[in-house]
A = this chain, B = another copy of it.
Amino acid sequence: MAKVTIKDIAKRVGVSPTTVSNVINGRHGKVSSDTIRKINRVIEELNYVPDFSARSLVSKRSRMIGVIIPQTEEHPQFLLENPFYSEFISGIEKHLREQGYYMMLTGVDKDTTYLDVLVNWNLDAIILLGIYKEGLYEQLKEVKVPVLLIDSYVEDSYFHHLRINDELGGYMATKHLIEKGHKKIAMVSGHLKENGVSAKRFAGYKRALKESGLSYEKQYLFADSVSYEWGMEAAKEILALEEVTAVYCTADLIAAGLLTGLHHAGVSVPDELSVIGFDNLSISRMTVPALTTVNQNIFSKGERAAETVLAILDRGINAIEKNQEMEISILERDTVRDLKE
């Protein structure tokens, strides 16, 4: 059977295709309720399914939300290398699917002309992860769709933001170690870009140290990349500092690598060295020992991101709080030793 079209329905009911289209797209204004009933009955009889690609041109809604993930310079090809993205995207997809929306998922590299194309794909909204060059934000502002920035500290009132308080998370992680009696605390992190997430998590570390009367020691800081490999490498550096009793990693991926590196070096965690991570990735329950970390509920954060853009579409760009923050907490597992016990 050929695909049922609006014309078929129109013919059967005896009205114009425009009338059918108006009813399908919820513009009932000039159509009698009798006609609406007839059209809906025929739609059901013929098992008609609207072609959203066509409909998007009429209603100006594509029901498609774009999710953009940056390609980092170290790993330009592997979109979901960091499990953070997979978990976050799972949350977005779940909520969109439940609401009858679709997700277009894409990476974006330095070739920003790609984005020109993307934003012209008639997306209803864009969820943007990561940090980009300034030019991209200006381009995004010219497109008239809502843009939600995730974990970004870009100061621009045009955009909506969803993030956690990264500075507070860094403070909480460090404070947790201090409360367990640790005084010589090293930190391993990704590159400390200004206004980046790692830099904020570093600021929290320094605040906690200062508040507890501990001095910040530059030689305790190891910043490179958010990767498992860097964590493994950093283990050697940490072990050269004999006085250190605990390590705060600004990402679970780094902490997982650190634990492996320490294991290979024959160092027992937490007996000889304590470790705390950040994010509560699903892999953090799989490390040996299981990782104590700062829990940001990544899946829920994805759901919240989807909820937020749909709320903006529903109620308008000014009706929704511009800066949304998710709760965080310390999740105690098995990698931090209480020195007071």
A interface list, Cβ under 8 A from B: 49-54, 56-57, 62, 64, 77-81, 83, 85-87, 89-90, 93-94, 97, 100, 102-107, 114, 116-118, 120-122, 228, 256-257, 259-260, 263, 282-283, 285-288, 299
Contact = CB atoms under 8 A, between A and B. Distances in A.
Contact of A282 (B52, B81, B106): B81
Contacts of A89: 79-80, 105
A263 B104 CA distance: 41
10 contacts: A50-B120, A80-B80, A80-B87, A81-B90, A85-B86, A103-B104, A259-B288, A260-B286, A283-B283, A286-B287
Contacts of A94: 77-79, 107
A83 B85 CA distance: 11
A40 B278 CA distance: 51
B286 A257 contact: yes
Given A49-B117, A77-B90, 6 more contacts: A50-B120, A51-B121, A53-B56, A53-B122, A102-B118, A103-B104
Contacts of A49: 116-117, 120
Contact of A52 (B103, B121, B285, B288): B121
A144 to B, nearest CB: 9
Nearest to A63: B121
Contacts of A117: 49-50, 52, 100
